[in-house]
Structure 1
Amino acid sequence: MGLGTKIRRFLQRISRPYYSVEPGSKVSFWTTGIHHVVFGGGNGIPEDCAFADRTSLGYRTTLGTNNYFGGKVTVGKYCQIGRDVAFHPTNHPTTHITTYINAQLFGGEMKQFKTEAEIFLGNDVWVGHGVIVLSGVNVGNGAILAAGSVVTKDVSPYSIVAGNPAKEIRKRFSDRVIAELENLNWWDWSDDELLKIKPLFLMDLSSLNSIQPILESLLVKT
């Protein structure tokens, strides 16, 4: 590594400092509203993220830069969220004369007509760059929200959605494999337990009708 690279990395570290939050999570100093966050452990929150209300992050879930949580959001374990992703659990009033809820009109009285419905993300969800998730959406385990999608309705487990508004493109696996993965709940396993079935993580499951025989053989070996 050249001296120029070392200097550049040093300057990046001191200009983008992180601090540790128990249990084992790292947070950028350039993130705001962190007092709203409930950490599951092993979380990473980079610079320019913002939290406006109670947000729960599951174990080992990591965020991208410039993530925005505009209300109550619950995220499961082992989720990865890309850059420039926004969660908007709240809505302005749409059936009144105005949607304006700022304090500059009637001291903000119109804010009482704002609605909110919490957003829920399951476990092992991948949220691509620039995704927007709207009020009341529930995203199932193992789902993929493709880059640039605007997610306006619930997403079923292990499905891929894309577009504006987001629509299901396909399921990641067969219905039986999806049911088996839902039953497996691997995200609740300890690291030692996961090591026993590590070969399953290294396999392409897209053409399988069942993972049960593989799973049983791995557990028998241990």
Structure 2
Amino acid sequence: MPFPQPDEMHPVQLVGGGRHKGTVFLKAVLNHPRIAVGDYTYMSAHDDLCDPDQIAARLAPYLFAFSPERLVIGKFCQIADGVRIITASANHRRDGLSTFPFAIFDGGAADGRPSMPAPGPDTIIGNDVWLGAGATVMPGARIGDGVIVAAGAVVTGSAAPYTVIGGNPAQVIRRRLPATAAARMQALAWWDWPIDHILEHEALICGTDLDALEAAAPRRA
């Protein structure tokens, strides 16, 4: 069976035929103007994922078409059931005496209203990131390439590439790779290789021999 294309909605074929409706390649389904997602990044759930609008709302419930911030997710990310990405449009002002958002209740323009916060930062998730079940990513988080986010973690701030993080707020549990090896992996950027070359070298990508993986990189023209 050929490897699915990144624009295939339900890429997991079941034994006996049919597709697993609880797994989607996000690039195939999302047309949200404030979300950018890379090839082969998938989201899984214990129920069917079929409606693009519902998938976007489930993943990033406070990111609207008119939101000033963006959500950017890299390639080959793995997003487990129950993950929520809380983007900056969920924020209230928290620098004054009250956090109450009066402006959203009277039907007028919210821009410039004293009860509304200023536009917040983008949320950026790198390549080959695994977001464990029930993890929450908070506004403006920056998650580096190769990070593993433990189930139930609450991610704020930045997570260095190739670390394992967990807890609330999430802290580094351990490094997956030494900093020098992590830098080599980012320079290698296997996620940008042609998919046939990736599949040919699956064992190296999922193995531990970084020298051999570097040697297997496709030659640049």
> Which interval holds the TM-score relative to the shorter structure?
0.5 to 0.7
TM-score normalised per structure 1: 0.68
After superposing on structure 2, the runs of 4+ consecutive aligned residues of structure 1 that deviate more than 6 Å are 217-220
Q: Cα distance 1:60–1:213, how it changes in 2: closer, same or farther (>3 A)?
A: closer
Shift of 1:182: 1.0
Equivalents in 1 of 2:74, 2:107: separation in Å? 39
Of residues 58-67 and 105-114 in structure 1, the stretch that sits farther from structure 2 once superposed is 105-114
Task: Write the distance in 2 (CA, Å) between the matches of 1:218 and 1:169.
Answer: 30
Distance 1:195 1:45 in 2: 20
Q: Which residue in the other structure is 1:82 paired with?
A: 80
Distance 2:167 2:101 in 1: 29
Kept after mapping to 1: 8 A contact 2:143/2:160: yes
Aligned-partner residue type, residue 143 of structure 1: V
Alpha-carbon offset, residue 64 of structure 1: 3.2
Count of aligned positions: 177
Secondary structure of the residue aligned to 2:9 is strand
Residue equivalent to 2:105: 104
TM-score (norm 2): 0.68
Identity of aligned residues (%): 28
Counterpart amino acid of 2:150? A
Match of 1:62 among 20, 35, 42: 42
**2:72 partner SS:** strand
Which structure 2 residues correspond to residues 149-164 of structure 1 after superposition, within 5 A? 149-164=153-168
Displacement of 1:197 in angstroms is: 2.3
Superposed CA offset, 1:134-155 (max 9, x none):
1211110000111111111100
Distance between the aligned counterparts of 1:214 and 1:113, measured in 2? 47
Q: CA deviation at 1:177?
A: 2.5
Q: What do residues 100-123 of structure 1 show as CA deviations (whole Å, max 9, x unaligned)? A: 225336855455425411100000
Classify 1:218/1:82 alpha carbon distance in 2 versus 1 (closer, same or farther; 3 Å): closer
CA RMSD of the aligned region, Å? 3.2
Gaps of 5+ in 2: 11-23, 46-57, 64-69
Equivalent pair of 1:137/1:154 in contact (CA under 8 Å): yes
| CA–CA distance in structure 1, aligned partners of residues 140 and 149 of structure 2 | 16
Task: Give the secondary structure class of the aligned counterpart of 2:159.
Answer: coil
Q: 1:121 aligns with which of 122, 125, 134?
A: 125
CA 1:56–1:181: 2 relative to 1, 3 Å:
same
1:164: Cα distance to partner?
A: 0.4
- 1:216 alignment counterpart: 215
Q: Greater relative contact order (Cα 8 A, min sep 6): structure 1 or 2?
A: 2
* Larger Rg computed on CA atoms: 1
Does structure 2 retain, via aligned residues, the 8 Å contact 1:70–1:89? yes
Deviations 1:3-23 (A, max 9, x none): xxxxxxxxxxxxxxxxxxx96
Q: What does residue range 1-222 of structure 1 map to in structure 2 within 5 Å?
A: 24-26=7-9, 42-43=25-26, 54-65=34-45, 66-71=58-63, 72-90=70-88, 91-101=91-101, 103-104=104-105, 107=108, 109-110=113-114, 112-203=116-207, 205=208, 211-213=210-212, 215-216=214-215
Secondary structure in 2 matching 1:148: coil
CA distance in structure 1 between the aligned counterparts of 2:161 and 2:193, rounded to whole angstroms: 19
Q: Which runs of 5+ in 1 are unaligned?
A: 1-21, 28-40
Structure 1 distance, partners of 2:217, 2:125, is 30
